Structure 1
Amino acid sequence: MQTLHLSIKTCSKIFHLGFALVLLICLASPTSSCTDQEKSSLLQFVAGLSQHGDLGASWQHGTDCCQWEGITCSTDEIVTDVLLASRGLQGHIAPSLGNLPGLLCLNLSNNMLSGGLPQELVSSSSIVILDVSFNRLEGDLHELSSTPARPVKVLNISSNLFTGQFPPTTWKAMKNMVALNASNNSFTGILPTHFCNSFPSLVVLELSYNRFRGSIPPELGSCSMLRVLKVGHNNLIGNLPDELSNATSLEFLSFPRSGLQGILQDTNIAKLTNLVTLDLGENNFSGKIPESIGHLKRLEGLHLNNNNMYGQLPYALANCTNLIIIDLSYNNFYGQLNKVNFSNLPNLMSLDLIQNNFNGTIPESIYTCINLVALRLSYNNFQGQLAKGLGNLKSLSFLSLYYNNLTNITHALQILGSSKNLTTLLIGRNFQHETMPVDDIIGCFENLRFLAIGNCPISGKIPFWISKLANLEILILSNNQLTGIIPAWIKALSHVFYLDISNNSLTGEIPTALMDMPMLKSANPRDFILPVYPAQTHQYRQAFAFPILLDLSNNKFTGEIPLDIGQLKSIHSLNFSFNDLTGQIPESIFNLTDLQVLDLSNNNLTGAIPATLNTLHFLAVFNVSNNDLEGPIPSGGQFNTFGASSFDGNAKLCGSMIIHECGLAEAPPSTVLSTEQTDYKVACVIAFSAFFGVGVLYDQIVLSRYFG
């Protein structure tokens, strides 16, 4: 949740703070001619590209280069702008562009350019704005003589492959710098200490996502005009220097995941009254949130997540009436939330307090925040029932109350059923030993896509009201005490691709209706995307991936595995373990060509393991232990990677990976050859981590890894 970073209001102005100061220079009116020298320099640039998009159509020898696409000229017949962002350009940047005598703005961002950054561009005597961000440029930056001073005011080299240290003489030559963005590269060394002296007009400094080390230079506090300072995701040490509070123009202060520590000094925070965003998440800060936080009247985003902070939330937090995002997740805060009057925060859209020690009831003042889109209070000690006021949050899309001590699930679902914008509802590990509510009292949840009511444990049957969730994609009812059969209407959930009803007391045969679930059969299931949290820029964009999963393990299912199991051609994980299934392993499983986890262990299956299963080339975890299987274990393919533990408890099996090899008259029961045994559930998690980039499901997977 910390990754939202005020993308709604603040993101668009971060880089443009500097850009806007000089943009007017680049808006000269076009003319009708250009010089031969300029035309030659431009054509040399195109000639050095391996792919030039559609430029070839207009960039012709016999035409006026002022009429070429992406080129702007002044009334003095001088090329002033070369604006070629997002054109699919590939190849090297020709130094010839530095020979354009009147060039003010060069924008080559969002292409696939490679090689180094020509020194002729950085040392140009005319370029004011240079943007080569989001390319594949590499190497070190060149040293420049400190004289004469270069005119560049905006330099954006972010999201490339640059390495090495910042050459100090180069920066001293850029005394006019207003905005510098070198984030998302591989720069090393200590943070430069001379920025404020070299760039007296510096407004924007972005150095995040690099490999800088050392402490934060106290000299940054003398940047009197600095408004944006982003140096997160580096390898820093130490505290925030007291001197930094002297940079009183700061609006955006961001040092997430940087190895910093210490406490937030009350007097220092009080000075930064212009702050709009304070992001110190994923560090080692301790102590309490100072009462002086209330002085930050303009604050819109507060990110202190993943630290070691503690104490009660200060009353003064409610004085920050412009807050849009509060992320205090993964700390040690405690006490009751009603000490903060959330009704003073009408703009609040996201409140994340997961993994703290808050207790008491959820304060009703939260329900007055009518713009709230995301609310995560999971893994705390909240008690009691949800108040009816929760229904006032008409914009609420994401709600996680997982792992608290809430009661009355029927009342909770009645309140939430009419929330038309609710897409994600995680309320498991509450409502201990209650009963699943009956159908006629639950609303329709018309836009719900993710429902998790696990680990309660609640009793009853799988309720019919779930069949009305037309947009549901992920359903988790695991670790409860549900009984009865899987209803035939399950196939009506046409968008569900993740179904976990494991660890219950469900009975009957595995219904053929499961084999008809469209998203388990489809070759192109849609990905699950949390719509609540838009990315700030594609520089930090990441995708969530959930496995296509069917988990019926640890129930009381009987009968045979349906022969048409082979219809589930898109499935990634199939778990029928710890049931009372009989019969043979269906041959049709070999049709599940995307299968990565197959667990049929601890049943009463008989017959042979189908040899065709060795064609499942993505199979990473396989377990048929503790059945009554017989015959040779298939060889080749992924089967050569499975240890003996996958086949334990099947005395009639034989094969090279167990002691009982085929063709021997007698042999002891199959045993594990490897000493590296671990719990099978852990093995599954490891497999999913490798294939999907996620290791834990439920609430942790949803938001604990968003780009920051």
Structure 2
Amino acid sequence: MPLSGLAIAVLLLISMASRARPCTEQEKSSLFHFITGLSWDGGLAMSSWRNNGTAAADCCSWEGITCGGGGVVVTEVSLPGRGLQGPISPALGDLAGLRRLNLSHNSLSGELPLERLLKSSSPTPSGLVAIDVSFNRLEGELRELRSSNSGWLLQVLNISSNRFTGEFPSATWQAMGDLVVLNASNNSIHGRMPSSFCISSSTSFAVLDLRYNQFSGRIPVSLGNCSSLRVLRAGHNRFSGTLPDELFNASSLEHLSLPNNGLHGQLDGARIVNLRNLAHLDLGGNGLDGKIPDSIGELRRLEVLRLGHNNMSGELPPTLSNCTNLMTVDLKNNYFSGELTRIEFSALTNRKTLDLLFNGITGMIPESIFSCSNLSALRLADNRLHGQISPGIVNLKSLVFLSLAFNNFANITNTLHVLKDCKNLTILLTNSNYKGEAMPEDEAIEGFQNLRILSLARCSLSGKIPLWLSKLKNLNVLFLQNNQLSGPIPAWIKSLKSLFHLDISYNKLAGEIPTALMEMPMLTAENTAIHLDQSIFLLIVYRGTSFEYRVISGFPNMLNLGYNNFTGVIPKEIGQLKSLSILNLSSNSLSGEIPVQLCSLKNLQVLDLSNNLLTSAIPSDLNKLHFLSTINVSNNDLEGPIPRGGQFSTFTNSSFGGNPKLCGNAIDRPCGSAEAPLVSTLTTEQKDRRIAFAIAFCAFFGVGVLYDQIVMSKYFS
């Protein structure tokens, strides 16, 4: 081997030997002290950390440990998502060369020994740079760190999604001149937001996330000094007052999110233009009023605008058309008015979501909105729009979510013929329109291959349940309540193999309840959740004022046939609906007994059989339905004792009223004393009947004898 080659080989061997140098005993002891202090080590005891019950020789080879050279060995401890349980040992602070600590997504508990972890004899480059203990069960208060330990090099601190309480330390952040990211979201920290951010000479502070806590008071004006601040998230707290003018001096802001607080006032159009880098603005769920300023159009980088659930009013500014990068616009639950034709939607080609729910928008849907080819969610419900749906809507090739409910649209047949060509449409809510029209029975209505939720409720539609619904093979949820539909439930209903939530209440449907309803595949299956699409809705689906649904599986398995004209008995086959959660057969003319087969519906939570003609006793085994939270059998002709025990111990008189022959504690009519008067009453009635019979018999007999005497005397004379 040439001399130069030999020298290179020797240098490589020396380099490899240097890198392979084992960690020190002190570092191995600190790490071993950490792992042995846990109540559950996530299997590390069976991995490279231990050898025959003792610590393995070289901790640089341990799982999750990274080492470096130059006399500093352990530089990183990274054990996220290992199921670790127990406290974080302060001994980790004895690792002088530790730069990064990641223990996130475990089940660690106890307090966070932050001061010990940041321990350093001098502010050397060997201090911790990043700490991530998010998504654990850490608790207690965050104590103020002593100023004598100033000079820390910490850049990232993530303590989010824990159980920290108390007030947020304020002076601590002044000592952290290199801090870039602070995430304390999803805890229970209260008090005021510290005003010490960016007071020091630091120019690096970029991300502050305090969402989902209990902070109160005003947004500190000192945030305007954060010249590098790019992300400010402090939503879902209790902040009050107005947005400080100084906040708009933080011209580097790209993400400003303060939803669901108690902020009020107006958006300052003159100051908001300072935030020219803003891409995400979320001030929803506050008490803001006034208009959206025209200057909003100067935020050319704006991608997300959320101002919903405020008290804002006025017409939407035409300058929104200048925000050509806009993808999401959420202005729901305000008092906006005027027509949408003021905005040139054709310039907003990147738009994916437009939500104007519950405002006062008037006029017709502008044609320009149909040029937003990327639009996937459009909600115009609860406004004052009118007219017919334009065929141009088929240009929205990406449309998945469409809600037109509670407007004044006309011609339901046209609507369905147009929308059937929206191939990706998954949710269609067009209830409370088309007043007084007839339900189309045109068999040419087809398509809707991907439709999962359909609402045609509250339209006062006449006619029958149409055959074209049988073609919606992927339909999961169907709302047809509050119409004027008549006739029977068609037998083809069982062909809707994906349907599990059906509401046809408040109609004029008649006939017997068909056994076909008892053969619906998604209601007879033991577990339907595994068959459902778990993807998140593009927009929340609201039902009434109490229910919000974000996924299809959130809807309960339900049959609601209440307030119709159904007759006959409740089919015994109803026991086949093993996954049923809600059954409502109220306010019909059903007769016969409550079928004992209902007792096999182990998932039943709500049962309403009120206002019918049901007789006999309440099946006693209904008390074995452990999930039953509501029952109503009032206003029937039931008799006998009300079942005891189980969930029946929680039901009140209102569940059983209007059944004079029932007895039990729930209606304060003890069965023993209830039966005696009943027998006495029946005996009195029997006596009265016998007396009347005796009188009638005697009279009849006397007349008969007298007649016989007269006739016989004449005959034998």
- TM class by shorter-chain length? 0.7 to 0.9
Does structure 1 residue 35 correspond to structure 2 residue 11? no
Matched residues in 1 for 2:480 and 2:590: separation? 21
1:293 to partner: Cα distance: 0.2
Query: Does the Cα contact within 8 Å between 2:356 and 2:381 map onto a contact in 1?
Result: yes
Does structure 1 residue 377 correspond to structure 2 residue 388? no
Aligned match for 2:524, one of 512, 521, 524: 521
Structure 1 segment 37-56 matched on structure 2, within 5 A: 37-56=26-45
Query: Does the Cα contact within 8 Å between 1:300 and 1:325 map onto a contact in 2?
Result: yes
Query: Does the Cα contact within 8 Å between 1:444 and 1:465 map onto a contact in 2?
Result: no
Matched residues in 1 for 2:183 and 2:624: separation? 50
Report what 2:64 is aligned to. Answer: 70
Structure 1 segment 425-504 matched on structure 2, within 5 A: 425-504=428-507
Query: Does the Cα contact within 8 Å between 1:473 and 1:528 map onto a contact in 2?
Result: no
Does structure 1 residue 110 correspond to structure 2 residue 105? yes
Query: Does the Cα contact within 8 Å between 2:431 and 2:457 map onto a contact in 1?
Result: yes
1:667 to partner: Cα distance: 7.3
- The letter of the residue matching 2:106 is N
- The letter of the residue matching 1:179 is V
Query: Does the Cα contact within 8 Å between 1:318 and 1:342 map onto a contact in 2?
Result: yes
Report what 1:146 is aligned to. Answer: 147
Report what 2:178 is aligned to. Answer: 176
Report what 2:394 is aligned to. Answer: 391
Report what 2:513 is aligned to. Answer: 510
Q: Bigger shift: 460-469 or 232-241?
A: 460-469
Per-residue CA deviation, residues 191-244 of structure 1 (Å, 9 max, x unaligned), is: 111101134321111111111111111111111111101111111110001111
Query: Does the Cα contact within 8 Å between 1:358 and 1:382 map onto a contact in 2?
Result: yes
Report what 1:409 is aligned to. Answer: 412
Matched residues in 2 for 1:146 and 1:353: separation? 51
Per-residue CA deviation, residues 512-534 of structure 1 (Å, 9 max, x unaligned), is: 11111122122211156453439
Instruction: Check 1:122–1:423 CA distance in 2 against 1; reply closer, same or farther (3 A cut).
Output: farther
Q: Bigger shift: 574-583 or 123-132?
A: 123-132
Matched residues in 2 for 1:218 and 1:33: separation? 51
Secondary structure, counterpart of 1:236 in structure 2: strand
Matched residues in 1 for 2:660 and 2:191: separation? 61
Instruction: Check 1:549–1:163 CA distance in 2 against 1; reply closer, same or farther (3 A cut).
Output: same
Matched residues in 1 for 2:646 and 2:213: separation? 41
Matched residues in 1 for 2:364 and 2:401: separation? 20
Instruction: Check 1:530–1:477 CA distance in 2 against 1; reply closer, same or farther (3 A cut).
Output: farther
Report what 1:358 is aligned to. Answer: 361
Report what 2:573 is aligned to. Answer: 564
Query: Does the Cα contact within 8 Å between 1:123 and 1:144 map onto a contact in 2?
Result: no
Matched residues in 2 for 1:528 and 1:415: separation? 26
Matched residues in 1 for 2:289 and 2:486: separation? 47
Per-residue CA deviation, residues 251-277 of structure 1 (Å, 9 max, x unaligned), is: 001110111000001111111111000
1:419 to partner: Cα distance: 2.0
- The letter of the residue matching 2:35 is V
Secondary structure, counterpart of 2:336 in structure 1: strand
Matched residues in 2 for 1:164 and 1:617: separation? 40
Matched residues in 1 for 2:155 and 2:252: separation? 19
- The letter of the residue matching 1:497 is F
Report what 2:197 is aligned to. Answer: 195
Aligned match for 2:621, one of 608, 612, 620: 612
Query: Does the Cα contact within 8 Å between 1:208 and 1:231 map onto a contact in 2?
Result: yes
Aligned match for 1:588, one of 571, 580, 597: 597
Query: Does the Cα contact within 8 Å between 2:255 and 2:278 map onto a contact in 1?
Result: yes
Aligned match for 2:560, one of 535, 539, 551: 551
Matched residues in 2 for 1:243 and 1:519: separation? 57
Report what 1:58 is aligned to. Answer: 48
Report what 1:680 is aligned to. Answer: none
Report what 2:658 is aligned to. Answer: 649
Secondary structure, counterpart of 1:51 in structure 2: coil
1:30 to partner: Cα distance: 7.1
Q: Bigger shift: 129-138 or 620-629?
A: 620-629
1:169 to partner: Cα distance: 3.1
Report what 1:538 is aligned to. Answer: none
Secondary structure, counterpart of 2:386 in structure 1: strand
Structure 1 unmatched ranges of 5 or more: 1-28, 536-540, 669-708
Query: Does the Cα contact within 8 Å between 1:659 and 1:667 map onto a contact in 2?
Result: no
Secondary structure, counterpart of 1:571 in structure 2: coil
Matched residues in 1 for 2:437 and 2:92: separation? 72
Report what 2:74 is aligned to. Answer: 79
Report what 1:167 is aligned to. Answer: 169
Report what 2:133 is aligned to. Answer: 132
Higher Rg of the two aligned structures:
2
Query: Does the Cα contact within 8 Å between 1:660 and 1:667 map onto a contact in 2?
Result: no
Query: Does the Cα contact within 8 Å between 1:161 and 1:185 map onto a contact in 2?
Result: yes
Report what 1:297 is aligned to. Answer: 300
1:447 to partner: Cα distance: 1.1
Query: Does the Cα contact within 8 Å between 2:443 and 2:467 map onto a contact in 1?
Result: no
Structure 1 segment 90-105 matched on structure 2, within 5 A: 90-105=85-100
Instruction: Check 1:408–1:48 CA distance in 2 against 1; reply closer, same or farther (3 A cut).
Output: same
Instruction: Check 1:122–1:453 CA distance in 2 against 1; reply closer, same or farther (3 A cut).
Output: farther
Per-residue CA deviation, residues 421-471 of structure 1 (Å, 9 max, x unaligned), is: 211111110111112222422122111111111000111211222222222
Structure 1 segment 234-245 matched on structure 2, within 5 A: 234-245=237-248
Identity of aligned residues (%): 56
Query: Does the Cα contact within 8 Å between 1:528 and 1:545 map onto a contact in 2?
Result: no
1:620 to partner: Cα distance: 1.8
Q: Bigger shift: 160-169 or 305-314?
A: 160-169
- The letter of the residue matching 1:236 is F
Report what 1:533 is aligned to. Answer: 538
Matched residues in 2 for 1:534 and 1:596: separation? 27
- The letter of the residue matching 1:626 is N
Per-residue CA deviation, residues 619-647 of structure 1 (Å, 9 max, x unaligned), is: 22211122222222222222232222222
TM-score relative to the length of structure 1? 0.87
Does structure 1 residue 257 correspond to structure 2 residue 260? yes
- The letter of the residue matching 1:434 is E
Secondary structure, counterpart of 2:613 in structure 1: coil
Aligned match for 2:269, one of 266, 269, 282: 266
Query: Does the Cα contact within 8 Å between 1:50 and 1:91 map onto a contact in 2?
Result: yes
Per-residue CA deviation, residues 143-179 of structure 1 (Å, 9 max, x unaligned), is: 2222431010111111111111222332222111011
Query: Does the Cα contact within 8 Å between 2:340 and 2:365 map onto a contact in 1?
Result: yes
- The letter of the residue matching 2:110 is G
Matched residues in 2 for 1:497 and 1:30: separation? 63
Report what 1:666 is aligned to. Answer: 677
Per-residue CA deviation, residues 21-47 of structure 1 (Å, 9 max, x unaligned), is: xxxxxxxx9755322222221111111
Aligned match for 1:121, one of 96, 117, 129: 117
Matched residues in 2 for 1:533 and 1:553: separation? 31
State the structure with bigger RCO (CA 8 A, min sep 6), 1 or 2.
Answer: 1
Matched residues in 2 for 1:276 and 1:295: separation? 12
Matched residues in 1 for 2:334 and 2:354: separation? 14
1:659 to partner: Cα distance: 5.3
Matched residues in 2 for 1:64 and 1:340: separation? 67
Matched residues in 2 for 1:577 and 1:542: separation? 29
Query: Does the Cα contact within 8 Å between 1:145 and 1:173 map onto a contact in 2?
Result: no
Query: Does the Cα contact within 8 Å between 1:189 and 1:213 map onto a contact in 2?
Result: yes
Structure 1 segment 279-294 matched on structure 2, within 5 A: 279-294=282-297
Query: Does the Cα contact within 8 Å between 1:451 and 1:475 map onto a contact in 2?
Result: yes
Structure 2 unmatched ranges of 5 or more: 1-17, 541-548, 680-717
Query: Does the Cα contact within 8 Å between 1:238 and 1:261 map onto a contact in 2?
Result: yes
Instruction: Check 1:616–1:62 CA distance in 2 against 1; reply closer, same or farther (3 A cut).
Output: closer
Query: Does the Cα contact within 8 Å between 2:171 and 2:196 map onto a contact in 1?
Result: no
Report what 2:9 is aligned to. Answer: none
